[in-house]
A and B are shown apart, each in its own frame.
Chain A
Amino acid sequence: MKAFLIDLDKCVGCHDCQIGCKDEHVGNDWSPYAKPQPEVGQFWLKVNQYERGARPHVKVTYMPVMCNHCENAPCMKAAKDGAVYRREDGLVLIDPVKAKGQKAIVEACPYHAVYWNDELNIPQKCTGCTHLLDGGHPISVPRCVDNCHVDVITFGEEADLDLDGTEVLHPEWGTKPRVFYRGLPKKFIAATVYDPETKEVVVDATVTATGERGTFTATTDDWGDFWLRGLPDADWMLTIEAGGKTKSLEVSTMEKDLGLGDVALV
């Protein structure tokens, strides 16, 4: 069974995957795999951006999302006449002829990965570039994979991929996605710690976040910065200690990542 592995830790936000998908499918008719994608507005693969933290501790997570080619695909159940089908290799495709008029296929996908084409009156989505996989073209891998220059997206037999420690999107929905992610964003707390008397950053301060979901520690670096990464959503008692001074803050990552800015150690 084919699967995708998307490693967010490697992503630099170039959008080459999104553009490659457009380049392959906009204006090109790959029937019977798929009809052309409209010029704009559909994203069979879309890079979502999440700005996180606060100045000066800001990062952006870039996250490519696409059809999950689910093992329990809700779109297949919503489709009539077998308009959505699974190939032997596991990839889930919409038959553009049979699917005509079937808006329910769009609505069935909880990941919003299926788009409606008003002009053609059909639902459309990622095909896994099956037209390329099946041969007769100069490349034989999905375009998002071929375009990526930093190996964020890999594609192959599920058994051949290193899926250790990966996650899928919304496993609780029971759809059993075949798109696996490494590095899905967890929360961070970051700050620059300084001494207001000497007006110096505090290097090597011990920072501890304690909460119901565990204890996390970090040390401030040469810039006085600490980054507590990989935190679950929780309320925390944050303690900063150095040179006999201690500062405690009640903070929460329930809603968002925290960039606390410059924190005076007093």
Chain B
Amino acid sequence: MKEEKSGTAVGACGELETTTLQSIACGGTGGDLTAVDAKDGKIVRIRPINYLDTYTEEELEPSMWKIKVGDEVFTPGYKSAPNYFALAYKNRVYSKNRVRYPLKRVDWEPGGDPAKINAANRGKSKFERISWDEALDIMESEVKRIVEKYGPYSVLTIGEDGHRESKNLHAGGGMHSTFMSKLGGYTREVRTPDSVEGWYWGAKHFWGSGCNKGLGMPAPPQTGYNPWHVLRDISEHTELIAFAAGDWELTQNYASQMWSRLLKFWEKVGKEFVIVDPFCNYTAVCHDTMKWIPILPNTDAALDFAVMYVWITEDLYDKEYVETHSVGFDKVKAYVLGEDEEGIAKTPAWAAERCGVPEWTIKAYARNRAKKVTASVHFSSGAIKGPYSHEPGRTHAYLLGMQGFGKPGVQQAFMNASLIGKETIARSTSSPFSSINQCRMFYPSEQKIPRTLVAEALKNGHAEWWGSPAIVYVETSEQFQMNSYPTTPETYAAALGTVSPELARSQGKSLEDLQAAIDEKLKNMPEFNKIHMLWSEKPCNMNCWDGGFNYQDSIRTDEVEFFVTNHQWLENDSLFADLVLPVTTCVEDNDAMGGSMVVSVRHDSLTPPACDRVGESKSDFEIACELGERFGVRDQIDMGMTQDEWIRYGFEQSRLGEEITWEELNEKLFYIPKQDPDQDQVLPGMRGFYEDPENWPLDTPSGKLEFWSEALAENFPDDMERQPMAKWIIGGPKEDGWSHDETLWGERCHDYPLLLVANPARFRVHVQGDDIKWFREIENVKVKGKDGYSYEPIWINPADAAARGIEAGDIVKIYNDRGTILTAAYLTERVIPGAVMVHKGSRVDPIAPHLDRGGAANLISPNNQVSKHCKGFAVSGYLVEAAKVEDAEMDRWKQDYPDAFARDYDPAIGINYNSWVVE
């Protein structure tokens, strides 16, 4: 009924409103389509669209995928299911927190003079409005000065993943790199794997490089590393769906809410579900069929080993598969049974003491997973983002390996494996149908720093690590290669590669030519310098990534002579910048943004401006073009084309023309490519490997699942943290060589006895959307303290609260040796005792160094990374203590830091533009 009654998708509606289509999402790959109605250049409403308003059912039929289970059929439906954010985006576009004009920090002056840059005041002193001419003058003079003085590599371009808005031509996240590349180079800030750490650092050594040739989530090399038809296989064959580190009802806020519909379909066809999480997450609480198993944070490896113990001792695993499809299982088996030198059997009783799950539930979990066809679903959060995450990453993978991974229904679902169907013109499970993005996103640079090591690099002047380590397009073996900042002749040479027939082939050169090319490069090695300018198109590292307070310290030094950010909202890292350039939101640009990942149907769309621009904002592409103008390189950036020409060019470069003409697309404004009639010929997920491991080998050294990795043993023989096979690792004192002591079995837990879980928030995507006032007034999104401030909630069990004299609504400080954040208490049964949950991503609101009122959890996350050789972040499952903030303490802070408390504050939106900009 609703579908018939919902209105026109596009064109002029009524007399006053005009409607455009927009693909709004908090990621770079687009979302389910929305219609944006506007009047007099201002948005009136943002709503779902009905495809039938533009196409007939007959026209759409070949584009609509179907899943059939028995008599039940699941289809995407004709109405889009935009993500939460898209539906509230009016709040985001017209946020009181929008950066409307270029801003300069009041006590910073160009020139690099320590007396005039006032580095220590970053995050403290306010901003003033300047004109675009002044802003571009500053950019021009500072870039020139710094490049002349230190060389181009002294500019660190931060944020190749961008603002995470869905934009195509106008996307940020590398336009600064594109621009700097025309001036001779730049230091790349490498986006380290996020949300997949445990798989990337652990499971890649078990099942190979995986999706996108490097993500660590499983995909067969033979399909170009694409995991096709995984959700269909699960729908058709799986009996039990195990959510490990995943919260679907939450994660769908990324691009589409279609996933609620899929969960309901799965319930309808009788699937069973189990959710192992310290937090009774948003998926667990709203579906009656979901079984929640509370677990202490970051103890999943203990649970998994006990599951293996039950399977081995009760003969409940696929021995034949393990025999034919894997190597090294005997070592894991010996460890689990206590038949190794350690001699400790990993029984359910042993695990229960560690993970807080009762022995009987562990056994039931093991048997259910063995007796029912079980798939694993992973969508960010949980142990996969904690210290030593390679251990649970590997044990989760081992469980699949022991049950015939790839067998019908035994699959792993994840973001890039959530595509249902396969279009004839599809390039992969995640790529857009047309792309005109000009960012140097994921491009190598001859000098680089992993995002996790920027603070260390700035503080110490050098850093060493292994691998790039970029999130995608890197094979597992890359993790064995040492890198350094600054780039040395050794690491420079190593990055060029060793002359070999394989490398020659991959570059399409003869051996001689390859040798000559490498010699030439070595002879002309550029001069590499330390960084002195930071330029960010993703200014949220302090609460998106790890060790946030440490990061703040590192950019408060004179070494950083100039810090500029491009961003739409005045928040987080921008508060520590010297210059902030205002950026358009996606609905203000003339662009062609489709939707290609975790959407209900993938589409290509024309997305012209929906409304007038807010303030004087420009897109990152436009900013790069204007700077290019100043340096005489504009034509190398825009290629002399107008934006309309770019959009047309994108279409012409794509395969869309095989199915729709440019004229038709302009008339319809969106297009849903047709389903490939031969799509069944592509095997689902890991089926090929399951059926024929010889012809579908993995890209591990043996071509099989490696329970024991000989490569790890060879390359890191002394690594006690990430050993050749997963173990129960708790770390220990620094002086003994451990990276972490973040468990309840070490020393630090005596001072900090609670484990902080930083699951993603339901009404934010990472740090995005914390200023959406309509979300902030939803119950338990914020908790108003008695001082009127809307604090980020600390979700705490009544028992843990009572033990600390904490009552609902109290202002609570959460602290450890890295600093203190303020929150307010939300008492709930949804958290296991011993853990507290603070959703990651609340905006920072600095009171003083290492003291923050905004409740941004990652500020106090570990400064060390996953482990010694694994420089990914560890941002959940670490030690803290929580205490009620007494009036005397708050009064003292107010006395000591009066400016911080005097900033303009609006509880509806929190800190905002007015808090930080002087009139």
Q: Which B residues lie within 8 Å of A10 (CB)?
A: 264
Let me know if B829 and A137 touch, CB within 8 A.
no
A151 touches B779 (CB 8 A): no
Partner of A40, one of B19, B263, B361, B908: B908
Contact B773 A40 (CB under 8 A): yes
* Contact status of A223 and B280, CB under 8 A, knowing A40-B908, A259-B829: no
Contact between A15 and B778, CB atoms less than 8 A apart? yes
Majority SS at the chain B contact face: mixed
Name the residue of chain A whose CB is nearest to the CB of B371: A222
Mark out the residues of chain B between 285 and 300 whose CB falls within 8 Å of any chain A CB in the assembled complex: 285-288, 291-294
Please tell me if B48 contacts chain A, counting CB pairs below 8 Å: yes
The reply to whether B830 and A55 form a contact with Cβ atoms under 8 Å apart is yes
Taken residue by residue from 57 to 84, chain B's Cβ proximity to chain A (1 for < 8 Å, 0 otherwise) reads as 0000000000000000000000101001
Cα separation A137 to B17 with both chains bound (whole Å): 8
Picked from B2, B35, B261, B291, the residue with its CB within 8 Å of the CB of A141 is: B2
Given A13-B285, A194-B358, is A23 in contact with B87 using a C-beta cutoff of 8 Å? yes
CA distance A154 to B367 in the complex (A): 42
Q: Is B294 touching A56 in the complex (CB atoms < 8 A)?
A: yes
* Given the contacts A53-B829, A56-B293, A146-B47, A140 and B5 also touching, CB distance less than 8 Å: yes
**A-B pairs with the 7 shortest C-beta distances?**
A138-B13, A139-B7, A60-B285, A138-B7, A149-B81, A194-B360, A40-B908
Contact B48 A18 (CB under 8 A): no
B828 touching A51, Cβ below 8 Å: yes
| B7–A140 touching, CB < 8 Å | yes
Per-position 1/0 for B262-277, Cβ under 8 A of A: 0110000000101000
- Complex: A216 Cα to B361 Cα, angstroms: 25
Give the complex CA separation of A12 and B830 in angstroms.
Answer: 16
Docked complex: A49-65 residues within 8 A CB-CB of B? 49, 51, 53-60, 62
The residue that A23 contacts in the complex, of B8, B90, B291, with Cβ under 8 A, is B90
Contacts A23-B46, A201-B364 hold; do A138 and B35 have CB atoms under 8 A apart? yes
- Which residues of B from 1 to 52 have beta carbons under 8 Å from A? 1-2, 5-8, 13-15, 17, 19, 35, 37, 44-48
Q: Using Cβ atoms and an 8 Å threshold, which residues of chain A touch B291?
A: 223, 225
Which residue of the partner chain A has the closest CB to B94? A27
Which chain A residues in 38-84 approach chain B with CB under 8 Å?
39-41, 47-49, 51, 53-60, 62
Give chain B nearest CB distance to A8 CB in angstroms: 10
CB of B88 within 8 Å of the partner chain: yes
Docked pose: A143 CA to B812 CA in angstroms: 38
The interface residues of chain B lying within 8 Å CB-to-CB of A195 are: 360
Query: B393 → chain A, closest Cβ, in Å?
Result: 25
> Which chain B residues lie closer than 8 Å to A16 at the CB level?
84, 87, 257
Q: Which residues of A contact B14 (CB under 8 A)?
A: 136-138
Interface assignment of B249: CB less than 8 Å from any CB of chain A: yes
Q: A12-B249, A23-B46, A223-B361 are in contact. Are A150 and B260 (CB under 8 A)?
A: yes
A181 CB to nearest chain B CB (Å)? 16
| Cβ of B349 under 8 Å from chain A | yes
Given that A14-B249, A16-B257, A140-B5 are contacting pairs, would A49 and B780 also be in contact in the complex, using a CB cutoff of 8 Å? yes
A19 and B48 in contact, given A56-B292, A138-B19, A156-B1 (Cβ under 8 angstroms)? no
B833's nearest neighbour on chain A, judged by CB, is A55
Indicate which residue in B2, B365, B774, B832 contacts A22 across the interface (CB closer than 8 Å).
Answer: B774
A201 contact set on B, CB distance < 8 A: 360-361, 363-364
Q: Within B854-909, which residues are at the interface with A (CB < 8 Å)?
A: 908
Q: With an 8 A cutoff between CB atoms, is A107 at the interface? A: no
Contact code string B359-382 (vs A, CB < 8 Å = 1, else 0)? 111011101100000000000000
- Inter-chain CA distance A58–B776, complex, in Å, is 24
Residue from B294, B349, B774, B832 within 8 A of A19 (CB atoms): B774
Which partner residue on chain A sits nearest B11 by CB separation? Answer: A138
- Residues on the B chain within 8 Å of A19, using CB: 84, 87-88, 774-775
With A14-B249, A56-B294, A143-B45 already in contact, the answer to whether A51 and B830 are too (CB < 8 A) is yes
Question: When chains A and B are docked, how far (Å) is the Cα of A255 from the Cα of B272?
Answer: 30
Is B364 touching A149 in the complex (CB atoms < 8 A)? no
- Interface residue? B258 (CB, 8 A): yes
> Inside 8 A of A20's CB, which chain B residues have their CB?
47, 87
List, sorted by A's number, 10 A–B pairs whose CB atoms are closer than 8 Å.
Answer: A18-B774, A19-B87, A19-B775, A40-B773, A55-B280, A60-B286, A139-B5, A146-B48, A223-B368, A224-B361
Q: Which of A26, A54, A146, A194 contacts B6 (CB 8 A)?
A: A146
Q: Does A227 contact B (CB under 8 A)?
A: yes
Q: Would you call A28 and B774 a contact (CB within 8 A)?
A: no
Residue numbers of B with Cβ under 8 A of A are 1-2, 5-8, 13-15, 17, 19, 35, 37, 44-48, 79, 81, 84, 87-88, 90, 249, 257-258, 260-261, 263-264, 272, 274, 280, 282, 284-288, 291-294, 348-349, 358-361, 363-365, 367-368, 763, 773-780, 797, 828-832, 908
Residues of A within 8 A of B17 (CB): 137-138
A147: chain B residues within 8 A (beta carbon): 47-48, 87
- Say which residue of A48, A62, A138, A259 sits within 8 Å of B37 (CB atoms): A138
Chain A residues whose C-beta falls within 8 Å of the C-beta of B13 in the assembled complex = 137-138
- The interface residues of chain B lying within 8 Å CB-to-CB of A156 are 1
Name A129-149 residues within 8 Å CB distance of B. Answer: 136-141, 143, 145-149
Q: CB of A199 within 8 A of chain B?
A: yes
On whether the beta carbons of A14 and B257 are closer than 8 Å, the reply is: yes
User: Which residues from B are CB-within-8-Å of A14?
Assistant: 84, 249, 257, 260
CB pair A136 B360 closer than 8 Å: no
A18-B774, A19-B87, A140-B7 known, 14 other contacts, Cβ within 8 Å: A12-B260, A12-B263, A58-B292, A60-B285, A60-B286, A136-B14, A137-B13, A140-B6, A146-B47, A150-B260, A222-B272, A222-B364, A223-B291, A262-B361
Asked if A24 is an interface residue, CB under 8 A from chain B, the answer is: yes
User: Closest approach, in angstroms, between the C-beta of B508 and any C-beta of chain A?
Assistant: 48
Cβ-defined contact, A55 with B780, below 8 A: no
Closest-by-CB residue of A relative to B367 is: A222
B7 in contact with A137 (CB, 8 Å): yes
CA gap between A201 and B13 in the complex, in Å: 61
For residue B74, give the distance in angstroms from its CB to the closest CB of chain A.
13
Q: How far is the CA of A194 from the CA of B358 in the complex (A)?
A: 10
Q: Which residue of A lies closest to B42 (CB)?
A: A27
Contacts of B797 in A (CB 8 A): 55
Report A50 CB to chain B, min CB distance, Å: 10
Query: CA of A199 to CA of B358 in the docked complex: distance in angstroms?
Result: 9
Known: A14-B260, A149-B258. A49 touches B779 (CB 8 A): yes
A139 to chain B, nearest CB (A): 4
Distance (whole angstroms) from the CB of B427 to the closest CB of chain A: 28
- CB-defined contacts of A48 to chain B, threshold 8 Å: 779
A212 to B618, CA, bound (A): 70
Q: Which residues of A contact B367 (CB under 8 A)?
A: 222
Which chain A positions have C-beta within 8 A of B828?
Answer: 51
> Contacts A149-B261, A150-B261, A201-B364 known; A139 to B348 CB distance under 8 Å?
no
Contacts of A89 in B (CB 8 A): none
